[in-house]
A and B are shown apart, each in its own frame.
Chain A
Amino acid sequence: MFRFLLKRLIVGIVTLWVVTVVVFGIFTIIPGDPALVYAGKDPSAEVLAGIRAKLGVDKPLPEQYATFMKGVAVGRDFPTGPKMVHCDAPCLGYSYKKDVPVLGLITRALPITATMAAGAALLWLLGGVSVGVLSALRRGTFFDRIAMTISLAGVSLPVYFTGLIGLSVFVYQLQWLPAIDTNSPFGNPFDPVQTFQSFILPWVVLAFLYAASYARLTRTSMLETMSEDYIRTARAKGLPERTVVTRHGMRAALTPIVTMFGLDLGALLGGAILTEYTFGLQGLGKQALDAINKFDYPLIMGTTLFAAFFIIVANIVVDVLYAFIDPRVRLS
């Protein structure tokens, strides 16, 4: 187990390093002068040269990368006029658009994205898997047909549609929920009621989208599993149906669900752009979108690396979970 984890960890670190090289390379070879994005109208050559120096893009590419990686390892100083601003390790760069270190912006947005992703994941996992299992066990019944029709709608309707409908109905027309406090969704001080009110719509809307996919996948997987020979054997041995379904059927059927769940959750932790944009939640996705719109290179790069980190970690967790769920998988 330890060796397996160590191996996966090393592969994860190497992958992350490769991601830094690729991401850094992509952002530095994009055509155009980044200084122009920061300059006012009609910038002179001197003005542009000054901004390039400030951004550090006047240096050769390898030097820029080495400086970036040094910042990740030991931190960096950034000039801001009368004094330098220190960015502690792991320093993912400095947003010259916002004049703050990138990591600070990411860690500020992370709790919002994490809360949104965790709540939605819980809902869609419970809802999607339950509906999928029940549909498979009651194949062809009215419940199965209704559940699959609703899940088809869930897959088809984009978040910005269901989100706007949700806001329009529950916030502005019925007024069951207050307008989402996008500034402090956790309250200040922490207020669980306000947090719940701020996140319930994003949770439900996001969960509706994902639960639909999970219900359909679980149904298919369960149908396939329940027709396996070993299920028939289990039944022939006289095991109760509940045991057959939960201990033999679901355990095998859930393997692909765990894979998908790990990757989906990892990707969501990197930011659910449309959901956050629709509800105005200042999470990683919304922050990344704003950074892209303003060509805030350091923030785009930092957020990308952070998202990659989550996906790699999620992969490792999924690999480990596999072994527990499916005894056929061996960690060796």
Chain B
Amino acid sequence: MRRPRTAARAVAGLAVLATLAAGCGGGSGNGDNKIEIGNKGVDGVHNPSDVKGGELRILNADDVDSLDPARAYYAFVWNLSRFYNRTLVTFDPKPGADGQKLVADLATDTGKSSNGNKTWTYTLKDGVKFEDGTPITSKDIKYGVERVFAQDVINGGPTYLIDFLQDPKKPYPGPYKDKDPNKLGLKAVQTPDDKTIVFNLNKPLPDFPYLLQLPGSGPVPKARDTGAQYANHPVSSGPYKIASYVKDKQIKFVRNTNWDPKTDTVRKALPDTISFTAGLSAEDVDARIQAGDADVDAANVGVQIATQGKILKDKKLAAQADNPITGFTRYFAINNKVAPLDNIECRKAVIYGANMATLQQSRGGQYGGDIATQMFPPSLQGYKAYDPYAIKANKSGQVDKAKEALKACGQPNGFAMNIATQDTPKGVAAAEALQAGLKRVGINATLQKAAPAKYYADFVGSPKSVHEKKLGVMQAGWGPDFPTPFGFFSSIADPRKILPAGNSNYGEFDDPKAAAAIDKALTEASVEASFPEWQEVDKLAMDNASYLPFIVDKALMYANPRVTNLYVTGGYGQYDFVNMGVGGK
């Protein structure tokens, strides 16, 4: 799941100066003050209410990446999409870990599996309709799924469905090149009647219902599909429809009169209208919410430094704020192919030499995140604590052990290497913190910075580029696309997912035992039954010293106190938009 990158460089200057402009000296986030964050919305709900009416005003610096459910990848857009896009199953609208559980949405249940989790069958509820009153049928769901296969047109979103539904011998090209007259030629999905849809996977997956909660699995009426331009006005199946959308500016949602609340146990649909306003500076977003001129920040990545200072000095503001774990792990991938880090002992020296305390400070101190000891995020189901390098007891690093590891790898005097980082204030600060920690043990690191938009795509996402540039250590952040261990680890720890381009396994961790554990996990009867295998994958990755996780990401969040049903869902690691209200005003 992606988090939008705003105008990083401009924000850098603005953030610093906003602090001056606001006259905020305190609240550096280092935990010196005594004010406690309310965290009422982390495990509970702010202002529970069923009062309808009013306008919910959502602000953001960035526009949505796409309103087309199949092309969106920003987490906040998936969150937002529940207003206008229903899927067979969706996250339970509850705070915390309960929000990671799936409940039926368009379907009558969360799915019946057979054939060793290779066949999944769903039945649609009665009375579900699109915004024009047309009944939603299983064929509309199938057509929506098929669009994901047309990656030459509908690109940008997740492609898990292709991985599990594609026939490698006769690849399905998507509906726009489909020779079937009804454009329903994807053989792996069958619709025996208008109410039933059957998915025949090419390999088992106990997590498959989680793929069906992804927005791209929602229904699309073929007659209204405009291909790449569908993003301008996707057809609603939810309680709101899009009244207007001006790119980079504003989206207006109004009630969809053809949505029947009796068919929907998830959505309260409280506000009469919802506005999403984009294009503001992040500081202006904070200022407007604090002034009561807006309700909630869509990005959910935390307030800016000036606002953090204000919150940490004001008990009333702090009581209204939340500081949840977002589900992201901040880490440095240590490459297995770049010398001398191709030696495990040299990789261990990097881990032991790192000063976790200063790395935590670089991400905003205690409000920016907890010190990590493993890749597996504690907010994810199946989590089991693991601390093989005794990081919790040695937050400032273990210089002696690092030197021992250096001797063992044949580099007793240390070595030179590169640290790749995004050229953003927080990215550079963390890389510099690692650089300083490693200098203590004789490892001289040089920072290699790259523009955020190109960083993952080209800089660290290409093993060839990584080898050529000798990027031994690469900073990254990773969150699950959906809250199961498969959703978190499948791209970063599976040796078979080391891709020549667009690679996410930056460290090129290629332990065959991890591949075997992943294969076994996928054949388990349920997601819960697969937890031991995923815990093993986490352990193998850590033992191999391919990862130096340093922060379990947290965000200091603040919403207008008038917002009702405000809570942080474990499904997205964000304030859940779906049932927010404004008390009728």
Chain A interfacial positions (CB closer than 8 Å to B): 31-33, 36-48, 50-51, 53-54, 79-83, 85, 96, 98-100, 105, 158, 160-161, 164-165, 167-168, 171-172, 179, 182-184, 273-274, 277-280, 282, 286-287, 289-290, 292-295
Contacts and interface: CB of A to CB of B under 8 A. Distances in A.
Contact of B153 (A54, A168, A183, A282): A54
B568 to A, nearest CB: 24
B497 A42 contact: yes
Interface in B281-296: 281, 283-284, 287-288, 291, 293
A33 B456 CA distance: 12
B151 A80 contact: no
Interface string B248-271: 111000000000000000000000
Contacts of B176: 81-82
11 contacts: A46-B151, A48-B501, A80-B153, A81-B227, A99-B229, A161-B21, A164-B17, A179-B291, A179-B293, A183-B246, A287-B248
A149 B393 CA distance: 56
B320 interface: no
B457 A51 contact: no
Closest 9 A/B residue pairs (Cβ): A81-B227, A50-B152, A32-B458, A36-B457, A80-B228, A280-B280, A81-B153, A47-B151, A164-B21
Nearest to A173: B291
A79 B503 CA distance: 28
Contacts of B467: none
B97 to A, nearest CB: 24
Contacts of B293: 179
A36 B17 contact: no
A10 to B, nearest CB: 37
Given A182-B249, A286-B279, A99 B228 contact: yes
Contacts of A79: 153
Q: Which of A38, A164, A295 has the most CB of B within 10 A?
A: A164
B516 interface: no
Contacts of B458: 31-33, 36
A277 B17 CA distance: 14
A225 to B, nearest CB: 38
Given A81-B154, A164-B18, 11 more contacts: A36-B461, A38-B156, A45-B500, A80-B153, A81-B229, A158-B17, A160-B10, A182-B277, A182-B279, A277-B14, A295-B454
Given A183-B277, A290-B7, A293-B7, A42 B499 contact: yes
A50 B281 contact: no
Please classify the interface of chain B as helix (H, G, I), strand (E, B), loop, or mixed, using the class held by over half of its residues.
Answer: loop
Given A36-B457, A83-B227, A294-B453, A98 B247 contact: yes
Nearest to B228: A80
Q: Which of B6, B7, B17, B151 has the most CB of A within 10 A?
A: B151
B158 interface: yes
Interface string B148-186: 001111111111001000000001000010000000000
Contacts of B230: 81
Q: Which of A40, A99, A273, A290 has the most CB of B within 10 A?
A: A40
B288 A293 contact: no
A188 B18 CA distance: 31
A99 B152 contact: no
Interface residues of B, number: 66
B390 interface: no
B453 A292 contact: yes
A167 B284 contact: yes
B517 interface: no
B243 interface: no
Contacts of A274: 10
B287 A172 contact: yes
A234 B239 CA distance: 80
Contacts of B157: 40
Given A32-B457, A42-B502, A161 B17 contact: yes
B10 A80 contact: no
B229 A85 contact: yes
A280 B281 contact: yes
Contact of B156 (A39, A287, A292): A39
B151 to A, nearest CB: 4
Contact of B158 (A40, A105, A280): A40
Contacts of B151: 39, 43, 46-47, 50-51
B13 interface: yes
Nearest to A105: B247
Given A36-B502, A80-B228, A83-B227, A41 B13 contact: no
A46 B152 CA distance: 9
A273 B248 CA distance: 15
Contacts of B8: 293
Contacts of B250: 183
Nearest to B248: A282
Contacts of A286: 279
Contacts of A292: 453
Contacts of A53: 152
Contacts of B162: 44, 47
A37 B6 contact: no
A179 to B, nearest CB: 5
A282 B500 CA distance: 38
Interface string B8-26: 1010011001101110000
Nearest to A274: B10
A168 B227 contact: no
B524 interface: no
B152 A40 contact: no
Contacts of A273: 10
B231 interface: yes
B5 interface: yes
Given A42-B159, A293-B5, A278 B14 contact: yes
A274 B281 CA distance: 10
Interface in B448-494: 452-454, 457-458, 461, 481, 491
A287 B231 CA distance: 19
Contacts of B22: 168
Nearest to A178: B293
A274 B504 CA distance: 33
B208 interface: no
Contacts of B497: 42
A48 B502 contact: yes
Contacts of A99: 228-229, 231-232
B501 A36 contact: yes
